[in-house]
Structure 1
Amino acid sequence: MKTEFEHRQAAHCESGVTSNLLWKASGGKITEPLAFGIGAGLFFAHIPLIKINNGPAIAFRTLPGYIFSRTCKSLNIPIVKKRFFSTESAETFLRQQLDKGIAVGCQVGVYYLPYFPKEYRFHFNGHNLVVYGYEEDKYLISDPIMQDATTLGSYELQRVRFAKGALAPNGQIYFPKTNVTITDEQIKQAVKAGIKKNVYNMLSIPGYFAGVAGIAHTGNKIKKWMDKLGLKKAGLYLAQLVRMQEEIGTGGGGFRYIYAAFLQEADAYWPGKGLSEISATFTQAGDMWRTAAVQAAGIFKGRLTTQQDFDKMGDYLIAIASVEKQAFEKLKKIKWD
């Protein structure tokens, strides 16, 4: 059984899945950048009390599932989203949808994905892919960060759908509920809603752990890591930051480039709002994140070992926070009506 579905490679898993699931309904207009921006995918959070792979929880994206849900909500598209208590009921429901010709998104863990390079396999359960058919015991898989479509055996798919640990997917499955047509006016209003949501998330969440305040706070914390944690553990914490930034769903720098592309595409729906000009600032922020990643890599690989090196790393994040704050404040000042 195979649904009508075309695999398209993307930069980020969930925005790629969202775009691919909405591609036909939008006539190819919901690109990956539009899905990412409408879904308010750009984020930052640092929660030291939560540990992932023995390092602090640092996120450069919204929680898994939010991009798809927000994009569909902004476009007035009803969705189905389910989790399961048993592997049997999860597979039964999956096959029922595929038999109806419905391609579905799934949240999975990456550790046991056999087609992932070994260096990218660690315990992270926020990955997304599309299942669009099956042939006997093999499921047809469109993982948007891979160049080509692939397959997973029934047990292999079950294993990643029910991976344990933080963000455990519990067999989560999601897809648009009905066949719909997405109009340009719907996209225009969804773009506005997505920008407003992302502005709030990056500027207005209370506290110091999230948004641009979280980036600056993390920069200041990094300056204290060497004394507080010791060189080895501090280096491992920076390795965690880079892993979440550059290896999981494109991370910090890549997300800023996608958001820049979103604003460029959004400019066609809202001309005269200066979105293309603001886009350049997010490209700058992406470049700065990549520079910071090089500095962090030098520390955890043992090439950079002084307090000045940690200070420089912290200053990079403080500067990034300033640049992103300026960009989001410009977006906040836009008069949409």
Structure 2
Amino acid sequence: METDLESPAFQHVQAAHCENGVTTALLRHHGLDFMTEPLAFGMGSGLFYIQIPFLTVNNGPAISFRTMPGAIFKRTCKALGVPITHKKFSSEQKAQAFLDQKVQDNIPIGCQVGVFHLPYFPKEYRFHFNAHNLIVFGKEDGRFLVSDPVMEITTSLTEEELTKVRFAKGTFAPKGHIYYPERVGIVSDATIRKAVVKGIKRNVRDMLYIPGSVAGVDGIRHTSNQIRKWRNKLGLRKASLYLGQIVRMQEEIGTGGGGFRFLYGAFLEQAGAILHDDRVSQISEAFTLSGDLWRSSAIKMAGVYKGRLTEQQDFEEIADRLLEIREVEKEAFKRLQKLKLSY
């Protein structure tokens, strides 16, 4: 059931990605009008890449193009000096009672949910993905008012529907996870600059220097090496399903993909203005290029998945494209590191 009703005290924010949107909407609700989706993403060092070993999602490789769920909200709030509450529950009844009290107190609450049973999602988008985020901001006629950032307008869910998605089963089971800012004071320009710089430096560390071979820019190379082997190792059918899963993780599920690279480019443009440093803004072009390359690789992968491309050479070309992406992102983060930003 969709509505276009909003609490006078809460304004819906549509965003490209759910956690960025929830973070932006909750902080703006508490008076931080400067907050934008790119700033939330960048301050939270949201850009990442990892192929998680020994884990599959929907019978395919578990790949994420962003940092771990929940980290963007926590990091952004911490950088701005905003204390937060976040809780998980072992009991559906306790989770519901807590949410009911916050709604009664007129406090918008961020919720982690599974998307498979969200009734307002189109059926083709209902995957078993349990790291989606939305805001519950009120109750009307027995239904909870919901601001889902990936939707154009607000919607609503019954208590039964909301409980079902809050306690979805499987990987990253949310267990009724809720979170919200406790209070927000005045945030100075100096604090904003510091949050921007810390976000950039942490992202440089995570993409260039994280240990192991499955994460950061080296994780992209790891996936490239895997793709070269899949056709001969798994057979064409299963290999094509694996590529289809990457496309789904990149373009449809909340792990993001090319879109996150465009978003990080937008963050660097805003960061350059905040820091009065054109060098930062100029590096945004590299992430726009990376986003374009991720999108073109997804088109190629989709061609294999749909059976139009079937040769080993097609897998080789996809793997080569990922290596090209790795070089673009590696060089961009090295350029950011060399700036030696300070606040």
TM band (smaller chain): over 0.9
Which of 6, 18, 24 aligns to 2:11? It is: 6
- Which of 232, 239, 247 is residue 242 of structure 1 equivalent to? 247
Q: Distance in 1 between matches of 2:54 and 2:179?
A: 30
Residue matched to 2:143: 138
* Alpha carbons 1:37, 1:262 under 8 Å: kept: yes
The farther-off stretch of 76-85 and 241-250 is 241-250
Cα contact 1:74–1:190 (8 A) shared by 2: yes
Residue 18 (1) aligns with residue 23 (2):
yes
| Residue 191 of structure 1 pairs with residue 181 of structure 2 | no
Distance, in Å, in 1 between the alignment partners of 2:53 and 2:255 is 22
Distance in 1 between the 2:128 and 2:254 partners? 14
Deviation at 1:119, TM superposition (A): 0.4
Q: Does the CA-based 8 Å contact 2:80-2:195 persist in structure 1?
A: yes
* CA deviation profile, 1:258-311 (whole Å, cap 9, x unmatched): 000000011111122511110000000000000000000000100000000000
Aligned to 2:320: 315
Q: Please say if 1:64 is aligned against 2:69.
A: yes
Identity of aligned residues (%): 56
Q: Distance in 1 between matches of 2:36 and 2:169?
A: 32
Is 1:158 aligned to 2:163, yes or no? yes
Paired amino acid for 1:172: H
Moved over 3 A (4+): 24-27
Q: Which of the numbers 301, 304, 318 marks the counterpart of 2:306?
A: 301
Q: Which residues of structure 2 form unaligned runs of 5+?
A: 1-5
Which residue number corresponds to residue 85 of structure 2?
A: 80
Alignment of 1:334 with 2:334, yes or no, is: no
Q: CA deviation at 1:188?
A: 0.9
Range moving further from structure 2, 317-326 or 98-107? 98-107
Read off the aligned partner of 1:125 and give its amino acid letter.
Answer: N
My pick for the range that moved more, 46-55 or 161-170, is: 46-55
SS of equivalent residue, structure 1 residue 133: strand
Is the contact made by 1:3 and 1:102 (CA closer than 8 Å) also made in structure 2? Answer: no
User: What is the 5 A alignment of 1:92-131?
Assistant: 92-131=97-136
Give the length in aligned residue pairs.
Answer: 337
Uncovered stretches (5+) of structure 1, i.e. residues with no partner: none
Letter in 1 for 2:284: S
Rounded to whole Å, the distance in 2 between the matches of 1:291 and 1:15 is 24
Residue 25 of structure 1 and its aligned partner are, at CA, apart by: 3.5
2:213 aligns to what? 208
Whether the 8 Å contact between 1:220 and 1:318 is mirrored in structure 2 is no
Distance 1:248 1:62 in 2: 14
Verify the 8 A CA contact 2:147 2:154 in the aligned structure 1: yes
Counterpart of 2:335, as a letter, is K
RMSD: 1.3
SS of the aligned residue for 1:263 comes to helix
One-letter code aligned to 2:46: G
**Distance in 2 between residues matched to 1:230 and 1:250, nearest whole Å:** 27
Does the Cα contact within 8 Å between 2:131 and 2:254 map onto a contact in 1? Answer: no
Q: Please report how far the alpha carbon of residue 2 of structure 1 lies from its aligned counterpart in structure 2 after TM superposition.
A: 4.7
Measure the CA separation in 2 of the matches of 1:269 and 1:2.
32
Tell me the TM-score normalised to structure 1 length.
Answer: 0.98
Separation in 1, partners of 2:148, 2:187: 24
Superposition deviation, residue 137 in structure 1? 2.4
Q: Separation in 1 of the partners of 2:209 and 2:137?
A: 39
In the other structure, the counterpart of 1:286 is: 291
Deviates most, 119-128 or 172-181: 172-181
